[in-house]
Structure 1
């Protein structure tokens, strides 16, 4: 066989992004080298548990135990767990990972937080019930959405997906936004056609392309085994972090709860996020009564079907944050907000004057929620990412492929890192707001897709899980769908799966096109 000529030079070798990335790698590598066994030891138990069926069975936690771990890690009172009922058995969908229980327990954590806030506000105690099958359906809500009885259009860009590289590896390209597609094509010097992208990638080594595409502004991921991922400095950095970080960042007096008969009635939430995880968090807070204002910009790309699905219950406005007038609008909104939830890359908002610390100066007592792809520490803290890419690079696609007997990646049957992280964001926001009401202070909540992935991996594996029949659209529409008007037409969508006995979740506002509302808060009732 003829040798393949590899393109090993990044296309933008001199860019500041590449220099910063390589500098971060070197810094973290030096830290790890001080104790080379420490990083491997963190994951040794995980590998044993997930590769040994007997070990998996022995270590498997029940859904109730998993929920307890989430709840108590954020300071929740263990006594409240007695009011939660989790029903259903796994697996519900075909996977060797515990996707269904991950969805159920993160949704239950958010539901219980809402119930506890009701108790704090009114003294009323209520029960929470989450059915596993319903939770799975909600964690794939974008699949089951219907607009005027029509299913969603194809969600992916024509060149998005998995490719082989010249060194026999696999890479995944996320090109659903035009600037990400353009970055991939620029690095590969080819047109945006799948066959031409594949041909160009045969001249690259997988890891070199990943580095070059990132430096050029793209979002791609090399498929790694879990062992390969675990050896990286970024995995070591994540091992030092909790699933959810809730940190006090400033002093402020406790804020009283506003009037209202729903858990989050009267609370104001700014939602600066796109795609799935952050928008799911905002949708969840809206389901429990918060006034959620989604802030976007007319120039920012969006995925329409996801915007519709996650826009239920929200107001939506345009603000141009790159202009001084837009920043003034944002500062005015910040002065009266309770929760600020954002999914921008680290330091992007800080450069505009809206870091957690600056937000706390504008509004002492704020709860500031930050979502990232790979965590807030480590050399990849600045790296862009999406659920599918984090699945690919942290070992899920490799492990699922091996379990299925496939020589290549296999995706999880849901964007579970996105959805579970979204519910954890909402959970963390509510727990921090409850602490603010008790203790005062300004609070910073941090979550990441990769840390949620680490948690999911450590839940263990399901022998024979891939043999499970998939959950069909017909079954979901027969059991878990509600119909509602919207600014797009009549929606049929999965209703919220956390059932609260006294304050049932509901979206009181219809999903509307982006920018439909003024940049101001509604009057509190």
Structure 2
């Protein structure tokens, strides 16, 4: 069995372009390697599926890969909404720095309840100054919110969760089983995932990146969100190539519809913490019964073992917890947390998730056993911390005009232009059949059956 377990060897793909995201960490090297992982596994799948006689050439554009770790979409004549809530951000406490993540209303409410303040940034800042960072982090998490104290790399590696994450593999494969892939006669060497049904139950940002990647090679991706859900600062970037529908999974009718959709899915990608699907009435035994031939890939923030395995988290918080923001502070000679220039943990984990899907598909096509894949942002952080910087050339800070395609994309918010694709695998180049839509704009049905 050759399921993906680590970064691909550099002699298995060609790299074009130079430059680097400015950081103490090897962000651009990670970007290129994660795209190459997708390419390597897609090349294996093409051969396994008899779409080509020999593994096609994998080519990664290093500059474009680095840029895809930021925003891939440039609005034409309008502006995207802000990514961050007004209260979100870094605050100095009595003994260090802490980051609040308040983009979601219930997370903001939890933080404000603990602090006893209203949603005013200056007032929040004053309230935090009297707290110890570990005490405030614990209190906000206990209230159902999300926050992260800034730790050094040494502190994280000595932390019980840091030690647990270090024991996790980059991709954890579990539960071997035999599956039979559905026939997809529309699949070709240049659109190898055409007709592949991918059910996307993820939020920002890693999970949607993975399914956007699969859509780029022809997959039918259906994203489901709770009614009314919106993340306007990021949806234009990550809904590309998908259909997006609302579905209330807590209602009996919504859950039944989800089961119908899952039973017809080839791939199931989700970001539910351990036990969350069970609570919905969709435990692994039932998923195996409903969709015995599915590929399943999931992620969480802080890893799958240890005291924080159930903790909610986001890229910016994991950077604080794992010592990345503190190492950046030292590198920049700054007096405050200095995170990565992009949300690299999210993006890298997303591409590794896509590669894991392709790896499992290749094994299934060869009639080998497949397993469910589990990844985490915290484990990706450890990979990043281990990589050496090697990129040369100018700093990559923003896209230039010729980094974008000439075609105008009619997104659900307005026209714009998308970055050129960073990856090609033989004749297969990433391209998307659908522009980025707003959430809830389609029915909860597979794209091929939409009216």
Q: TM-score range by the shorter chain?
A: over 0.9
Measure how far apart 1:147 and its partner are.
2.7
- The RMSD of aligned alpha carbons is 2.4
- 1:209 paired to 2:120: no
State the partner residue of 1:255.
Answer: 181
Measure how far apart 1:132 and its partner are.
1.1
CA–CA separation in structure 1 for the residues paired with 2:3 and 2:44: 16
Residue by residue over 1:14-67, the C-alpha shift from the partner in whole angstroms, topping out at 9 and shown as x without a partner, is xxxxxxxxxxxxxxxxxxxxxxxxxxxxxxxxxxxxxxxxxxxxxxxxxxxxxx
Report if aligned partners of 1:365, 1:442 keep a CA contact under 8 Å in 2: no
- 1:472 paired to 2:398: yes
Question: Would the alpha carbon gap of residues 458 and 325 (structure 1) be closer, same or farther in structure 2, given more than 3 Å must change?
Answer: same
CA–CA separation in structure 2 for the residues paired with 1:268 and 1:81: 31
Question: Would the alpha carbon gap of residues 461 and 88 (structure 1) be closer, same or farther in structure 2, given more than 3 Å must change?
Answer: same
Question: Would the alpha carbon gap of residues 288 and 358 (structure 1) be closer, same or farther in structure 2, given more than 3 Å must change?
Answer: same
1:130-279 matches, cutoff 5 A = 130-141=60-71, 145-166=73-94, 168-249=95-176, 251-259=177-185, 260-261=187-188, 262-279=191-208
CA–CA separation in structure 2 for the residues paired with 1:412 and 1:73: 30
- 1:367 paired to 2:295: yes
Measure how far apart 1:353 and its partner are.
2.3
Number of residue pairs aligned between Structure 1 and Structure 2: 443
- Residue of structure 1 aligned with 2:246, choices 318, 323, 326: 318
More helix by percentage: 1
Which fold has the larger relative contact order, with Cα–Cα distance below 8 Å and residues 6 or more apart in sequence? 2
Q: Secondary structure of the residue that 2:155 maps to in structure 1?
A: helix
Runs of 4+ deviating beyond 6 Å: 75-78
- 1:521 paired to 2:449: no
CA–CA separation in structure 2 for the residues paired with 1:461 and 1:82: 18
CA–CA separation in structure 2 for the residues paired with 1:311 and 1:195: 34
Measure how far apart 1:146 and its partner are.
2.4
Measure how far apart 1:194 and its partner are.
1.0
Measure how far apart 1:319 and its partner are.
1.1
CA–CA separation in structure 1 for the residues paired with 2:366 and 2:396: 45
CA–CA separation in structure 2 for the residues paired with 1:138 and 1:188: 37
| Superposition TM-score, scaled by structure 1 size | 0.80
CA–CA separation in structure 2 for the residues paired with 1:442 and 1:479: 38
Measure how far apart 1:77 and its partner are.
12
State the partner residue of 1:27.
Answer: none
CA–CA separation in structure 1 for the residues paired with 2:65 and 2:76: 24
Q: Which has the larger radius of gyration?
A: 1
Measure how far apart 1:447 and its partner are.
0.5
| Superposition TM-score, scaled by structure 2 size | 0.92
CA–CA separation in structure 2 for the residues paired with 1:232 and 1:357: 34
State the partner residue of 2:419.
Answer: 494
Report if aligned partners of 2:2, 2:363 keep a CA contact under 8 Å in 1: no
Measure how far apart 1:226 and its partner are.
0.5
Q: Secondary structure of the residue that 2:366 maps to in structure 1?
A: helix
Point out the more displaced range, 441-450 or 180-189: 441-450
Residue by residue over 1:84-112, the C-alpha shift from the partner in whole angstroms, topping out at 9 and shown as x without a partner, is 2023345x121111000101110111122
Identify unmatched segments of 5+ residues in structure 2.
none
